[in-house]
C-alpha cells in the first residue's frame, strides 16, 4: 500500500485481514480505527456507506499519524460489494440472537484469520455502525461471528476499542515474546558464584558487627538472607552496588569504632 502522498507503507502489509466498517457514523471513529489497526499490524480499511461520506478531515485528526491507512481506504455501497473479492469474512457481534452460526472468541477468530491468510486466502472483518451494530443481513454474509469475552454487565464497546482488540489478537498470532523476562539491558544476570561472593562479604561484615552473634539462631538467619537474595534474579551491576552498600555501611561503623 502506498498512500496518496507517495510515501512508503508503514509496514510490509502482505495479505493481512481487511477491516470493513459497515455504515460508520462518526468520522472520528474511522480515524481512531486506523490508529488501532496500525497498532496491531492491520492496514487494509474499507468503508460501506459511511454516513457522512468520505473523505472527512475529522478522521485524520484522530488517526495519530496512521494517515496512509486512511489514504488507501476503499469505499463501497454495499457489504456484498465490499466482500466480493474476499474468501472468508467474520462479523463482530456482541449479542447474536435467533441465528445459527459459528461463534468465535476474538482469539479464536484471530487464529482462523491467520490460518486462512497462511493458505493464501483473503479475509475480512466486519464491524457494524456505532449505535446498532451489524444487522441480520450483514451477519448472514459472514462465515462466523466474533464475540469478545467481556463483562456482560457493561457491553458498551467503542468502535475503535473493538477494532483494537482484534488488531491486538491478530498481532499476537505471530508474536513470540516470552510472558515474563528479566530485561537486563547493559548488564547481565549474576552467576551463583558472583552471588555467593557477595553473600560471603555480607556475612563477614555481619559476623564482625555482631549481627550474627547468637550462634543458635545464626544458621537460620543466614538461610533467610540467602532465600531473600535468591528470590529474584540479581544482576552483576546490582551486586556491585550491594557490595558498595555493605562496604560503606560497615565503613561508618568502623570509623565510629575507631
Q: Which residues form the interface with a second copy (CB under 8 A)? A: 10-11, 32, 35-36, 38-41, 64-66, 96-108, 111-112, 144-145, 148-151, 153-158, 160-161, 164-165, 168, 171-172, 175, 177-187, 232, 235, 237-238
User: In whole angstroms, how close is the CB of 88 to a second copy at the nearest point?
Assistant: 13
User: Which C-beta is closer to a second copy: that of 161 or that of 250?
Assistant: 161
Quote the Cα angle for 28-34-35, to 5°.
90
Contacts of 238 (CB under 8 A, 6+ apart): 187, 190
User: In whole angstroms, how close is the CB of 38 to a second copy at the nearest point?
Assistant: 4
**Of the candidates 90, 73, 86, which has an alpha carbon nearest to the alpha carbon of residue 15?**
86
Q: Work out whether the CA dihedral 155, 25, 46, 29 comes out positive or negative.
A: negative
User: Which C-beta is closer to a second copy: that of 55 or that of 96?
Assistant: 96
User: In whole angstroms, how close is the CB of 73 to a second copy at the nearest point?
Assistant: 17
User: Which C-beta is closer to a second copy: that of 13 or that of 225?
Assistant: 13
User: Which C-beta is closer to a second copy: that of 69 or that of 82?
Assistant: 69
User: Which C-beta is closer to a second copy: that of 2 or that of 214?
Assistant: 2
Integer Cα distance of 225 and 206 in angstroms: 11
Contacts of 249 (CB under 8 A, 6+ apart): 205
**φ/ψ (deg, to 5) at 124:** -140, 160
User: In whole angstroms, how close is the CB of 142 to a second copy at the nearest point?
Assistant: 12
In the structure grid, which three cell numbers stand for residue 255, read together? 570509623
In the structure grid, which three cell numbers stand for residue 170, read together? 491478530
Asked if residue 59 lies in contact with residue 30, where contact means CB atoms within 8 angstroms, the answer is: yes
User: Which C-beta is closer to a second copy: that of 105 or that of 214?
Assistant: 105
**φ/ψ (deg, to 5) at 145:** -105, 140
User: In whole angstroms, how close is the CB of 221 to a second copy at the nearest point?
Assistant: 25
User: In whole angstroms, how close is the CB of 54 to a second copy at the nearest point?
Assistant: 22
Amino acid at each position: 500500500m502506498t498512500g496518496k502522498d507517495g510515501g512508503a507503507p508503514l509496514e510490509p502489509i502482505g495479505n493481512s485481514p481487511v477491516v470493513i466498517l459497515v455504515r460508520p457514523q462518526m468520522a472520528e471513529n474511522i480515524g481512531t480505527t486506523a490508529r488501532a489497526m496500525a497498532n496491531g499490524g492491520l492496514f487494509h480499511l474499507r468503508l460501506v456507506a459511511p454516513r457522512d461520506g468520505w473523505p472527512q478531515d475529522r478522521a485524520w485528526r484522530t488517526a495519530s499519524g496512521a494517515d496512509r491507512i486512511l489514504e488507501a481506504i476503499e469505499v463501497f455501497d454495499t457489504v456484498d460489494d465490499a466482500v466480493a473479492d474476499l474468501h472468508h469474512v467474520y462479523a463482530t457481534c456482541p449479542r447474536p440472537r435467533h441465528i445459527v452460526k459459528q461463534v468465535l472468541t476474538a482469539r479464536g477468530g484471530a487464529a482462523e484469520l491467520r490460518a486462512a491468510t497462511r493458505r493464501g486466502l483473503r479475509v475480512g472483518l466486519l464491524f457494524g455502525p456505532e449505535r446498532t451494530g451489524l444487522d441480520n443481513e450483514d451477519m448472514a454474509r459472514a462465515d462466523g461471528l466474533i464475540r469478545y469475552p467481556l463483562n456482560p454487565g457493561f457491553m458498551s464497546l467503542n468502535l475503535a476499542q473493538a477494532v483494537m482488540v482484534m488488531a491486538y489478537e491478530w498481532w499476537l498470532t505471530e508474536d513470540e515474546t516470552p510472558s515474563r523476562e528479566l530485561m537486563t539491558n547493559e548488564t547481565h544476570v549474576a552467576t551463583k558464584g558472583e552471588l555467593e561472593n557477595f553473600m560471603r562479604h555480607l556475612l563477614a561484615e555481619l559476623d564482625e558487627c555482631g549481627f550474627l552473634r547468637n550462634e543458635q539462631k545464626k544458621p537460620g538467619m543466614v538461610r533467610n538472607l540467602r532465600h531473600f537474595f535468591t528470590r529474584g534474579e540479581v544482576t552483576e551491576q546490582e551486586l556491585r552496588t550491594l557490595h558498595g552498600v555493605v562496604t560503606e555501611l560497615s565503613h561508618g561503623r568502623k570509623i565510629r569504632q575507631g
